[in-house]
Amino acid sequence: MITTTEGVVRGNAGVHFDIPYAAPPIGAARFAAPTPHDPWPDVRDATRPGPTAPQPRRDGFGALDMSVYFGPGWVPGADYLTVNVWSPPEGRDCPVMVFVHGGGFVAGANRAPLYDGTSFARDGVVLVTVNYRLGIAGFLDIPGAPRNRGLLDVLAALRWVRRNIAAFGGDPGKVTLFGQSAGATIVGALLATPQAAGLFQRAIMQSGNGMGAFSPEQAARVTRAAAEALGIGPTVEEFARIPDRELVAVLPALSGLDLRTGGRFDPLLGLSAFSLVLDRQPAEAVADVPLLLGTNAEEGHLYLAPQGDLVSSTMRDVHDTAARAHADPAAVVARYRARLPAATPGELRSAIMGDALFGDGTRRMAAVQGIRYTYEFGWRSSAVDGQLGAAHAVELPFVFDSLGFPELLGPGEPPAALATEVHRAWVRFARTGYPGWPTGETRRFG
């Protein structure tokens, strides 16, 4: 039994699931800032995972089963702005780590199998995983509604942590915010959000993009397309009358939108029509907290290998990918070819895609921060007939020190020693602000 500011929750063996940090976002509230949850008069059952944000089912990428990453998809239930908490036995004043999941801003959940916090609790850390609004409810930029509502949800979760985490054995003054992919991009934006000041003392960005936000002009293009697909006007009143199932059903119609404008390229290369909407990129602001950030060596393989495109890509495909992110694609292709003279067209395409989505923005983010530690994860998964490699998301089982995911890691025994090394670096950073290597040096894992 744990008493929170909203009521008592009953968990099981140091694990508490499905604890609300904000009121259910239903009706018009889906397009408003999060508000406090009403107190519950009785003991709340926190022994089972709860509902998830409305989202389309995304089990896989082609031949790759990614259900361990995305979780169960949409588990209906209004009360889904919740956290899961893993606590060390008899813990007191422990460091706290708050994890923000990825999923392209349209999918994912804090209850995905990859995000089990057992190893963190075992090593003296209170681990919190967060659900937040996704897709149209979370990130569509609608006139009359606050921007980046999914980010505001994470901010509300951090405030819940500040109020309540001591009851779970955590130190509210020693909080590390970390995330992967879209979650890492949200972390980067919160570093530059004044309202988040003091809510976390350290941050980790795993394969995020400090240059990944849409401009208001780009976001308006998505809003118009969503309104047209739904047959409504682009106003908050019109969107508020559409039920969640229709908002989710329209998402496929928004994929592949060309968001290139006169002044900007699409930072997500058409892979998602949703991102943060900011006037200023996260990498353009300096944060006064220690930051650990990095990427995987073959990020782009996730978007090519499972679909067969790592093998079938042509040089035309390479040029088309470069054109989505660069003003002079021919020069870009020539530069990558010089750097990777033996690469196949698929490997060139993957390298260009990985840098455009994650690498360039991560390096830019690192360049402007004062105290920052960088890493590169290079262990190669043997999934997808050995082609997946050090792709996007492959580092997650190593961070969580839980390697039982052959869907992502491939057959055979992944190196337990590497999981120990990576996980310990994350825990050490949460505990001390120092992961184990000096600033200015990039630690290579695997």
- What is the pLDDT, as a whole number, of residue 56? 94
**Mean pLDDT along residues 37-64:** 93
Tell me: the pLDDT tens digits for 196-230? 999 999 999 999 999 999 999 999 999 999 999 99
* DSSP line for 179-244: EETHHHHHHHHHHT-GGGTTT-SEEEEES--TT-PBPHHHHHHHHHHHHHHHTS-SSHHHHHTS-H
- What is the pLDDT, as a whole number, of residue 429? 98
In angstroms, the CA 12 to CA 24 distance is 24
In angstroms, the CA 25 to CA 5 distance is 20
Angle at 178 between CA 173 and CA 179, to 5 degrees: 155
Q: Residue 306, SS3?
A: helix
In angstroms, the CA 291 to CA 396 distance is 18
Is residue 299 annotated as part of the catalytic site, yes or no?
yes
Tell me: the pLDDT tens digits for 224-241? 999 999 999 999 999 999
Q: What is the dihedral of CA 13, 18, 21, 24, to 10 degrees?
A: -160
- What is the pLDDT, as a whole number, of residue 369? 87
- What is the pLDDT, as a whole number, of residue 441? 95
- What is the pLDDT, as a whole number, of residue 256? 83
Nearest to 391 by CA among 310, 271, 275: 310
Task: Let me know: does 85 contact 16? Beta carbons within 8 Å.
Answer: yes
Burial of 444 per CB tally in 10 Å (0-12, 13-18, 19+) = middle
Nearest to 32 by CA among 277, 239, 302, 246: 239
Average pLDDT, rounded, for the chain: 96
Q: Per-residue pLDDT for 270 more than 80? A: yes
In angstroms, the CA 98 to CA 200 distance is 9
**Mean pLDDT along residues 167-179:** 98
Nearest to 153 by CA among 206, 85, 71, 98: 98
**Cα–Cα separations (whole angstroms), residue 294 to 116, 193, 205, 286:** 22, 21, 7, 17
- What is the pLDDT, as a whole number, of residue 255? 86
Given 299, 301, 395, 423, the catalytic residue: 299
Given 6, 16, 119, 181, the catalytic residue: 181
- What is the pLDDT, as a whole number, of residue 370? 84
Beta partners for residue 19, in sequence order: 83
- What is the pLDDT, as a whole number, of residue 416? 98
- What is the pLDDT, as a whole number, of residue 398? 98
- What is the pLDDT, as a whole number, of residue 142? 97
Q: Per-residue pLDDT for 60 more than 80? A: no
- pLDDT class of 285 with cuts at 50, 70, 90: confident
Structural tokens at position 65: 């089963």
Question: How many whole angstroms from its chain centre is CA 332?
Answer: 28
Is residue 101 annotated as part of the catalytic site, yes or no?
no
CB atoms within 10 A of CB 262: 5
Of 70-84, 86-100, 253-267, give the lowest mean pLDDT range: 253-267
**Mean pLDDT along residues 52-69:** 91
- pLDDT class of 264 with cuts at 50, 70, 90: confident
**Mean pLDDT along residues 298-321:** 97
Max distance between CA atoms of the chain, in angstroms, equals 66
Domains of the chain: 2-216+269-445 (3.40.50.1820)
- pLDDT class of 27 with cuts at 50, 70, 90: very high
Is residue 413 annotated as part of the catalytic site, yes or no?
no
Which H or E element spans position 98?
strand 94-100
Q: Per-residue pLDDT for 26 more than 90? A: yes
pLDDT above 90 covers a percentage of the chain that reads: 92
Q: Per-residue pLDDT for 336 more than 90? A: yes
Tell me: the pLDDT tens digits for 94-147? 999 999 999 999 999 999 999 999 999 999 999 999 999 999 999 999 999 999
**HSE-up of 24 (CA within 13 Å, CB side)?**
13
